[in-house]
């Protein structure tokens, strides 16, 4: 697919034609974010003016049909105060384009519109930021755009300071599995805020995924995995705390788990040759000064998560036995009888569970949505176990535990590949 094949609203097309060419494009996908998007737009504009004063730039709001005034908030955001940006010469104007996106509803379709506009305008460097951010600062623009525009990187992933019980899907599945399968140690592969080169935007645009589930969900892990597996130059940048509405892993993340893990499993088939060829994970360059920051607590309902796990252990063994190997299933069911104080799903067992589900998904032993739905209560049990074990741990101790889990994913990788077969991963 080319940029010309992506439909744009007439007003957006006219704005693109009038601007003609830019150095930097920043995209902000949105849906009903009126209370936060103005702050995001102002922070981005300030970052562009302060750190890239000589660059031509555009902010693109790709909106999914908001009814709360989000596009109007973008159009009305005040970008006219260069004196606050600590520069001594006039700034080139930061253009803005507000446009609805076309295609399947979802964040991926919003990104496709951003990629298409970036290609039409010949942008050298791009970034995308979530519209609901409360912690974004102008420095975020510097740390995601700078490595691309000034250092030649194609993809800059975010590195956030997060509460020890935040990011449970990332920490228990997506980060350690991506690290093991693709050989790059990117700590936040589904962070949501990324920097990328214009050529990578064009590469994304040409991929035949825009009528698939990627267009609805899974775009973050797809972008990260595609950049790594297709050989682009990647790095990560420390952004400090990412403050967003806190979510209880036991009540808010089941749907997200199924969406993200579905993409992880589907990408395994796409990049089977790459996975089989990858050896030890490599560190990637890190930009920014890593430091501790104050973090908002995350509410966690351990009792609720364990109740769901135990109910599933009573109701789902016949389903699980089509996915899990007998020894793994036996251990999973036995754990349900343990009291909270002794409940523990260790790393070795948890990785066996995830890899069993990956194999079942690849072999289509059930419909994909059945496989992923059956994983949810097991994820909740693992999350409850992790919360209980790290309740009194310091952040550094929690990170050590996550790195130990990542090593277990790597240790069991060869067995995973052998089970699937080199041509079936």
Nearest to 180 by CA among 410, 425, 416, 424: 410
Instruction: Answer yes or no: is 293 within a domain.
Output: no
Instruction: Indicate if 95 and 165 belong to the same structural domain.
Output: yes
Nearest to 352 by CA among 360, 363, 343: 360
Q: Which of the two residues, 250 and 285, has the higher pLDDT score?
A: 285
Q: Decide the pairing of beta strands 234-241 and 24-30.
A: unpaired
CA 107 remoteness from chain centre: 11
Instruction: Answer yes or no: is 95 within a domain.
Output: yes
CA 132 remoteness from chain centre: 15
Q: What is the CA radius of gyration of the chain?
A: 22
Instruction: Indicate if 67 and 137 belong to the same structural domain.
Output: yes
Instruction: Indicate if 146 and 233 belong to the same structural domain.
Output: yes
Q: Specify the range with the lowest mean pLDDT, choosing from 23-32, 188-197, 320-329, 413-422.
A: 413-422
Last residue in a domain, options 229, 262, 287: 287
Instruction: Answer yes or no: is 184 within a domain.
Output: yes
Instruction: Indicate if 50 and 13 belong to the same structural domain.
Output: yes
Instruction: Indicate if 242 and 355 belong to the same structural domain.
Output: no
β-pair partners for 98: 61
Instruction: Indicate if 273 and 209 belong to the same structural domain.
Output: yes
Q: Which contiguous run of DSSP H or E holds residue 187?
A: none
Question: Which residues are CB-contacts of 348 (< 8 A; sequence separation ≥ 6)?
Answer: 408, 412
Instruction: Answer yes or no: is 346 within a domain.
Output: yes
How far CA 157 is from CA of 31, 98, 166, 177, 184, in Å, comes to: 23, 25, 18, 16, 12
CA 398 remoteness from chain centre: 21
Residue 261: give its domain's CATH number: 3.90.550.10
| pLDDT, position 253 | 67
Q: Does 386 score more than 70 pLDDT? A: yes
Q: Does 325 score more than 50 pLDDT? A: yes
Reduced to 3 states (helix: H, G, I; strand: E, B; else coil), residue 7 is: coil
Last residue in a domain, options 254, 287, 320: 287
Q: Is 183 left (phi over 0), alpha (psi -120 to 50) or beta?
A: left
Burial readout 53-84 (b: 16 or more C-beta within 10 A, e: otherwise): bebbbbbbbbbbebeeebbebbeebebeebee
Reduced to 3 states (helix: H, G, I; strand: E, B; else coil), residue 35 is: coil
| pLDDT, position 92 | 63
Instruction: Indicate if 75 and 214 belong to the same structural domain.
Output: yes
Instruction: Answer yes or no: is 234 within a domain.
Output: yes
Instruction: Indicate if 350 and 227 belong to the same structural domain.
Output: no
Contact 118, 204 (CB under 8 A): no
| Domain span at 54 | 3-287
**What is the arithmetic mean of pLDDT over 8-14?**
89
What is the CB neighbour count within 10 angstroms for residue 299? 12
- Counting the structural domains of the chain, the total is 2
pLDDT tens digits along 44-80: 999 999 999 999 999 999 988 889 999 899 888 877 6
Reduced to 3 states (helix: H, G, I; strand: E, B; else coil), residue 85 is: helix
Instruction: Answer yes or no: is 425 within a domain.
Output: no
**What is the arithmetic mean of pLDDT over 384-394?**
93
Contact 126, 23 (CB under 8 A): no
Average pLDDT, the chain: 89
Q: Decide the pairing of beta strands 234-241 and 194-197.
A: unpaired
Q: Note every long-range contact of 356-360, with CB atoms under 8 Å and residues 24 or more positions apart, other chains counting.
A: 356/323, 356/324, 356/325, 356/328, 357/261, 357/265, 357/323, 358/265, 358/268, 358/416, 359/416, 359/419, 359/420, 360/322, 360/323
Q: Does 378 score more than 80 pLDDT? A: yes
Instruction: Indicate if 327 and 263 belong to the same structural domain.
Output: no
Instruction: Indicate if 136 and 222 belong to the same structural domain.
Output: yes
Instruction: Answer yes or no: is 333 within a domain.
Output: yes
pLDDT tens digits along 66-119: 899 998 998 888 776 543 334 444 446 788 888 888 776 778 889 999 999 999
| pLDDT, position 412 | 97
pLDDT tens digits along 192-212: 899 999 999 999 999 999 888
pLDDT band at 300 (very low <50, low <70, confident <90, very high): confident
Instruction: Answer yes or no: is 212 within a domain.
Output: yes
Last residue in a domain, options 231, 256, 287: 287
Nearest to 56 by CA among 154, 145, 152: 145
| pLDDT, position 193 | 96
Order of strands, sheet of 286-287, starting from the edge strand that comes earlier in the sequence: 94-100, 57-63, 24-30, 125-128, 194-197, 155-161, 234-241, 286-287
Rounded distance between C-alpha atoms, residue 423 and residue 425, angstroms = 6
Instruction: Indicate if 272 and 355 belong to the same structural domain.
Output: no
What is the CB neighbour count within 10 angstroms for residue 289? 8
Instruction: Indicate if 143 and 274 belong to the same structural domain.
Output: yes
% of residues, the chain, pLDDT over 70: 92
DSSP letters spanning 116-158: HHHHHHT-SEEEE--TT-SS--HHHHHHHHHHHHHH--SEEEE
| pLDDT, position 88 | 41
What is the CB neighbour count within 10 angstroms for residue 400? 11
| pLDDT, position 108 | 87
How far CA 194 is from CA of 57, 119, 159, 180, in Å, comes to: 17, 17, 10, 21
């Amino acid at each position: 697919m080319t940029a010309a094949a992506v439909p744009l609203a007439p007003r957006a097309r006219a704005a693109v034609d009038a601007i003609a060419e830019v150095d930097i494009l920043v995209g902000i996908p949105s849906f009903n974010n009126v209370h936060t998007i103005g702050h995001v737009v102002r922070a981005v504009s300030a970052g562009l003016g302060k750190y890239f004063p000589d660059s031509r730039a555009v902010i693109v709001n790709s909106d999914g049909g908001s009814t709360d005034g989000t596009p109007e908030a973008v159009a009305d955001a005040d970008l006219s105060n260069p004196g606050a940006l600590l520069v001594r010469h006039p700034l080139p104007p930061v253009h803005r384009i507000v446009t609805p996106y076309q295609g399947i509803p979802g964040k991926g379709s919003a990104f496709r519109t951003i990629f298409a506009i970036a290609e039409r305008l010949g942008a050298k460097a791009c970034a995308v930021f979530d519209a609901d951010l409360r912690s974004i600062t102008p420095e975020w623009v510097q740390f995601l755009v700078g490595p691309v525009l000034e250092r030649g990187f194609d993809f800059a992933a975010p590195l956030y300071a997060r509460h020890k019980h935040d990011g449970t899907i990332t920490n228990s599945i997506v980060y350690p599995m991506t690290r093991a399968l693709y050989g790059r140690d990117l700590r936040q592969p589904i962070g949501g805020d990324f920097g990328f080169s214009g050529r990578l935007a064009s590469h994304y645009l040409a991929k035949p995924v825009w009528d698939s589930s990627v267009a609805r969900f899974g775009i973050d892990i797809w972008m990260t995995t595609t950049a790594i597996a297709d050989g682009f130059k990647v790095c990560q940048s420390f952004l400090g705390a990412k403050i967003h509405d806190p979510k209880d892993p036991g009540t808010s993340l089941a749907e997200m788990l199924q969406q993200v893990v579905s993409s992880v499993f589907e990408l395994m088939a796409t990049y089977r040759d790459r996975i089989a060829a990858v050896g030890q994970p490599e560190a990637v360059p890190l930009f920014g000064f890593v430091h501790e920051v104050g973090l908002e607590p995350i509410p966690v309902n351990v009792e609720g998560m364990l109740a769901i796990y135990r109910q599933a252990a009573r109701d789902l063994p016949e389903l699980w036995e089509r996915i899990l190997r007998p020894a793994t299933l036996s251990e999973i069911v036995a754990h349900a009888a343990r009291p909270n104080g002794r409940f523990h799903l260790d790393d070795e067992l948890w990785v066996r569970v995830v890899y069993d589900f990956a194999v079942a998904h690849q072999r289509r032993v059930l419909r994909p949505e059945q496989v992923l739905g059956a994983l949810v209560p097991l994820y909740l049990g693992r999350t409850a176990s992790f919360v209980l074990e790290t309740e009194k741990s310091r952040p550094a101790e929690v990170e050590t535990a996550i790195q130990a889990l990542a090593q277990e994913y790597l240790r069991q990788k060869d067995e995973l590949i052998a089970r699937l077969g080199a041509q079936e991963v």
